[in-house]
Amino acid sequence: MKFLERGMKMLIVGSYPPRKCGIATFSNDTFNAIRSMFGSTLPIEVCALQNEKTPLSYNQEVSYVLVTSVLENYRLIAEKINERNDIGLVCIQHEFGLFGGVLGDYLLAFLLALNKPVITIFHTVLPNPGKERKKVIQTIDSLSDKLIALTKKSKDILVNDYNCSKYKVRVIPHGTHVVLWEDKSLLKHKYRYDDKIVLSTFGLLSKNKHIETALFALKDIVKKHPNVVYLVIGKTHPEIIKREGEAYRNGLMEITKNLKLEDNVIFINKYLKLKQLLEYLTLSDIYLFTSKDPNQAVSGTLVYALSCGCAVISNPIPHALEILRGGNGILLENFGDNEELKQHILDLVENESKRANMAKNAFANIRFSTWENVAIKYGLLFGELTERIEDLRFNLPPIKLDHIKKLTTNYGILQFSNFSQPDINSGYTLDDNARALINIIMHYNLYGGKSVLNYANIYLGFIENIQRESGWFDNYLNYELELTKQNSETNLEDANGRAIWSLGYVIGHKEILPSGFVKRAKNCWHKIMHRIDDINSPRAIAYSIKGLSHYYAQCPDEFIKNKVERFANKLLQHYKVNYEEGWHWYEDYMTYANNILPEAMMYSYLITKNEDHKNIAEITFDFLLSQYFMKRQIKVISNRGWFKKKNERVFYGEQPIEIVTTIIALDLFYRITSKARYKNQLEIAYSWFLGNNHLNQVMYNSKNGASYDGLEDTHVNINQGAESTLCFLKAQMIIDKYSRKIKTFRHYKIGKKRNLNIIFSNES
């Protein structure tokens, strides 16, 4: 492939598994994240740093092994890298102890010999450096194109204490793994910690961990709360084993015995695989970070604990000072003060609601640092330094129904979730069950698999059960299957319009569905047709036109055609009333699901062949798109305030429903007009979910196939309700239809100054 000849590979230089250390894990996680996000369009290899001549057994991604104690090796490896035309960027993991020489200065020989763009990631940034340390870092600065700090504090130290070039330093946080918000009791049962309050610490053991502080704090706690257990997870650090053997671990076990804590302290002397480690952290109620190094710049163990929803108590290392704010955890004032630690542990043990709220805050506020989001940042940087952004492609995330199935009971799909846990108190809505019915039929049509029809049966059953004898539909039902007050307090026209859309969609696909299933939909359809003239609101009209159009495709008759024309003329009248120069719209404001209005006009054209309907559809849709697409990004109407004709527009507060209704309409307009700009904008709109938004963060949960509920100005709302998740599924299925035909999509950009042109790839 030609682009590989133009520097399209990244080479990570760092310790790497099976070597057991934190940076080896970091290197591996970085490799996996970039490969997962970009696939073969950003190939990545590894130069493994090894501190002994005996070779380790590496995976195939390791192309080079650099024995760090031999100075000559640095130049030789650098020359081999220089000969590779396909390597466009070298990414060096830096910590002083990784490299040979005085303060790791053998690395300088490697940098001097290297003729490639270089970024250096600093894992340890010590303040107030001595002359020699400062000189080494300044030389690294002069020989690197960019420097990466893992925290804002580390960046400040690099700039202020080491006089590094401010324009070179970027902050990219330590990555975290996506973990579902699970019921801790289920995992506790799995690991036989039922009815226990679980404390934990993990990582390679060394004296720096200062575990004894927690042991001494625990002595009095278990007298009062004997159900407290403390898990010390991890093997002793290999370098410590070489020098001291298991002296530190044995000492901890001796303290445990002397304090009579054998029933409460459990040493898990294993290097756990990732899945099991994350499960241990997820079942933990409280995570203790007792490291005694006041200058520890960053801790992967700390952010992993936060990402698993632990209430954290931490010594005040710089990283903790930065991330344990605003209720994310508890910062200790002193290092090694077991009395202070004891009081905070007791407070959380005895205050379950405080513990739970802290865990939720931590879980939500650390989500920006998932490895997917970190990979996007490295992709941005790679493209900037290699000028090869246009060759990058995002992998399409696989379609998963996991969360939709989890939200679905025997009666219907629940409305909301707390993170990924269904919220039964939110009850059900006709809106969501109508959407779910359409999505499942579409999924069945595209991919087959009769088992999904079991879910379609549930959603259709909900629609049947919430229809009144008069034919009209209620919308809101609580978990106890009782109609709520909202049905009498809220205009139900839009919900009825969605029901018509979903029923028409089912009937329109009667050729692939069981006859009994279609008959049930027709029974509901004929009942609501008696009430269809009661619908007057623009969006309810639009949804109805869509349903009528799907019905007409299979069952053409003049009654349906007349209803479509009548409804379309109503929308046309709305347009004529509200139109003025510079405002080509049906209302004097834009609210939610705006795309449904021009989309309905285009559907009416397909049935009536009225050219006025088509012309107004295009005029109004193009006007809407002009408000949405800016600098190769989509920015939809905010839920913080509707966009009124005479007012300035409010930004942020973007929701998936508006993105997906845009995608649905763009798909229709492209199929009818064949205008390439509609397909290009469709791809840009979908890229919003993949990270092409103002935060450069993914808007989907890679574990369960859910979508997050909203994109705010500074953060993502990571609740995963039915509406958002169903919208994402619809977008995925539409995109997948295109990817199957053309394999890749055209370019789009991420960000402002550091725009990222990325083509979608269908490798996933």
pLDDT of 599-613, one tens digit each? 999 999 999 999 999
**Secondary structure class of 270 (helix, strand, coil):** coil
Nearest to 696 by CA among 742, 626, 748: 748
Average pLDDT for 687-707? 94
Which of 147, 171, 195 is the last residue in one of the domains? 171
What is the pLDDT at residue 744? 34
The percent of residues above 90 in pLDDT, for the chain, comes to 78
Q: Which two tokens stand for residue 168?
A: 């070179």
Average pLDDT for 678-684? 94
Residues 483-517 as b/e (b if ≥16 CB within 10 A, e otherwise) read ebeebeeeebbbbbbbbbbbbbbbbbbbeebeeeb
Q: Is the dihedral of CA 267, 268, 270, 271 positive or negative?
A: negative
Q: Does the pLDDT at position 3 exceed 80?
A: no
Which of 323, 354, 369 is the last residue in one of the domains? 369
Nearest to 26 by CA among 94, 119, 110: 94
User: Does 360 map to a domain?
Assistant: yes
Average pLDDT for 455-474? 97
Band of residue 742 on the pLDDT scale cut at 50, 70, 90: very low
How many domains are contained in the chain?
Answer: 3
Band of residue 204 on the pLDDT scale cut at 50, 70, 90: confident
CA distance 749 to 753: 10
Query: Tell me: the pLDDT tens digits for 504-557?
Result: 999 999 999 999 999 999 999 999 999 999 999 999 999 999 999 999 999 999
Mean pLDDT of the chain: 91
What is the pLDDT at residue 417? 96
User: Does 394 map to a domain?
Assistant: no
Q: What share of the chain is helix, strand, coil (3-state, %, to 5)?
A: 50, 15, 35
Same domain, 211 and 257: yes
The percent of residues above 70 in pLDDT, for the chain, comes to 95
Query: Tell me: the pLDDT tens digits for 399-439?
Result: 999 999 999 999 999 999 999 999 999 999 999 999 999 99
User: Does 383 map to a domain?
Assistant: no
Query: Tell me: the pLDDT tens digits for 94-107?
Result: 999 899 999 999 99
CA distance 376 to 696: 7
Same domain, 140 and 234: no
Which has more pLDDT, 244 or 26? 26
Band of residue 745 on the pLDDT scale cut at 50, 70, 90: very low
User: Does 63 map to a domain?
Assistant: yes
What is the pLDDT at residue 6? 52
CA distance 404 to 455: 9
User: Does 378 map to a domain?
Assistant: no
Q: Which helix (H) or strand (E) holds 689?
A: helix 676-690
User: Does 44 map to a domain?
Assistant: yes
DSSP one-letter string for 595-663: THHHHHHHHHHHHH--HHHHHHHHHHHHHHHHHHEETTEE-PPPTTS-EETTSPPP---B-HHHHHHHH
Q: Which domain holds residue 251?
A: 184-369
Which has more pLDDT, 637 or 92? 92
User: Does 381 map to a domain?
Assistant: no
Same domain, 431 and 561: yes
Same domain, 425 and 512: yes
CA distance 535 to 538: 9
Query: Tell me: the pLDDT tens digits for 333-387?
Result: 999 898 999 999 999 999 999 999 999 999 999 999 999 999 999 998 998 898 8
Before 18, cis peptide (omega within 30)? yes
Query: Tell me: the pLDDT tens digits for 130-149?
Result: 999 999 999 999 999 999 99
Same domain, 467 and 337: no
